[in-house]
Amino acid sequence: MKKILIVGSDYYKEIYNGLLKSAKSRLSTNYKIDELLVPGVFEIPVTITKKIKDYDGFLALGCVIKGKTPHFDFISQATTNAIMSLSVENKKPIGNGIITCLNMKQAIERKKKGLEAANAVISILSIK
């Protein structure tokens, strides 16, 4: 049985819960699922790094909402780059379900994007 770790930031609890619910709707009983919460999306890649040998695939779930400073851009880009590097270097799928939004309304509209991240991981895990 394949093992998948969901690493998520619940900084925006309602959004995270929506991402998690939609991701779990796709993950059947064919997978062993564990979850770890971290304070923010910036901590997701290092957490995956610590667990990379223990799981077959990962889901990164969280939300970044643009504020009035460039912090949004730095966090979003650094996190995305780190997740892609980890996935390629370790040859393990990491579904990027971290949504980046300009406001809370957009985040609420996109909180079902966890499903797409789960689909991506399952798709890659099925490649022989």
List, in order, residues 6 or more apart from 25 with CB less than 8 Å away.
115, 118
User: Residue 122 has which token pair?
Assistant: 């399952």
Could you count the other beta carbons within 10 Å of the beta carbon of residue 77? 11
Say whether 71 is catalytic.
Answer: yes
Could you count the other beta carbons within 10 Å of the beta carbon of residue 75? 16
Cα 124 to Cα 5: distance, rounded to the nearest angstrom: 15
Catalytic-role residue among 13, 21, 32, 71 = 71
**Residues that are catalytic:** 71
